[in-house]
Structure 1
Amino acid sequence: MNNIKKFLLAIYIPLLLACHDRVLASSANTRDIIVPKISDWQITVVNGLITSETLFIHCKSKDDDLGEQNLRLGERIFWNFRENMLHSTLFWCYLSKDDGHMNVKVFWDDVILFHRCGWKQCVWTAKTDGLYLWNSAIGEDLLLEKWEAGW
């Protein structure tokens, strides 16, 4: 038996033994414990500017450019994706309005973000004072980023 197989067995056997009770007590199977699930996600960005301004938005990741869009009051964009196996998926957006702009991350691997997004859907709303994330755990918007002055 080569060293890699010995190493893998040394990791997986204790893991399986430690998780044995949880596997029996839930609907999870052994594969779910050994191979982490890749999550399905949806990100939504809404124009909630009460001044009826147009919100310019350009979102992208390392691999995907979602293009430039202008959203009128109440309009939204959304996209679906699967988090990569390395849990390094990152989406960010550039947003601008008449008197402000920002560059902001809208998805990254973070357990606090996941909890706030209900482990499946992050809803961001651009308002007059900044960008808010809907916190599904407590049922309210949280201001996470303020507008920078100018363009």
Structure 2
Amino acid sequence: MNYIKTFLLAIFISLFLTSHDRVLASSTTTRDIIVPKISDWQITVVNGIVTSETLFIHCKSKDDDLGEQNLRLGDKFSWNFRENMLHTTLFWCYLSKNDGHMNVKVFWDDVILFHRCGWKQCVWAAKTDGLYLWNSAIGEYLLLEKWEAGW
């Protein structure tokens, strides 16, 4: 019986200490530490190539092939998913236009990416000189990848 009391006291003390930890963000709870959050995300790829070229995209993860898409100027392709519990979710896309192509990650577990995407939605725009990510933290697009020559 003493073991049970000692065990319960140890749990109470650890919960008390972690609930008052100033290192945690104010919205973080003890439950968030014990059970990791699985986030809902949306990824969008937009054709913003002003020369009116068709943008070809083919996006995948380890488990999902999202198919091939041909986007005209202003068209977009979006998908929703939940990040896995191990935080290893990765999506990448092959993009090509008349005179260039690229293979690029469009989602991976990275706090900088999450911050830029506003912790819920990443918007990528293909433009004449490369692929841009909408940085919601500063309200502007950032060039993250330039086109490789060829097809």
Give the SS at the match of 1:19.
helix
The 10-residue stretch of structure 1 (29-38 or 110-119) with the greater mean CA deviation from structure 2: 29-38
| Aligned residues with identical type, % of pairs | 84
Matched letter for residue 141 of structure 1: Y
Normalised to the residue count of structure 1, the TM-score between the two structures is 0.85
Q: Summarize deviations over 1:97-128 as a string: whole Å, max 9, x none.
A: 00000000000000000000000000000000
Change (3 A) 1:39 1:56: same
Matched letter for residue 150 of structure 2: G
Residue 16 (structure 1) aligned with residue 4 (structure 2)? no
Q: Summarize deviations over 1:69-117 as a string: whole Å, max 9, x none.
A: 1000000000000000110000000000000000000000000000000
Give the SS at the match of 1:112.
helix
1:48 corresponds to? 48
Change (3 A) 1:14 1:34: farther
State the shift of 1:34 in Å: 1.3
Normalised to the residue count of structure 2, the TM-score between the two structures is 0.85
Change (3 A) 1:28 1:114: closer
State the shift of 1:138 in Å: 0.4
Give the SS at the match of 1:45.
strand
1:77-96 equivalences under 5 Å are 77-96=77-96
Matched letter for residue 59 of structure 1: C
2:144 corresponds to? 144
Q: Pairwise CA RMSD of aligned residues?
A: 2.2
State the shift of 1:13 in Å: 7.4
1:106 corresponds to? 106
Structure with higher Rg: it is 2
Question: Does structure 1 retain, via aligned residues, the 8 Å contact 2:15–2:30?
Answer: yes
1:25-64 equivalences under 5 Å are 29-64=29-64
State the shift of 1:32 in Å: 2.4
State the shift of 1:37 in Å: 0.6
**Which 5+ residue runs of structure 1 have no aligned equivalent?**
1-9
Change (3 A) 1:136 1:21: same
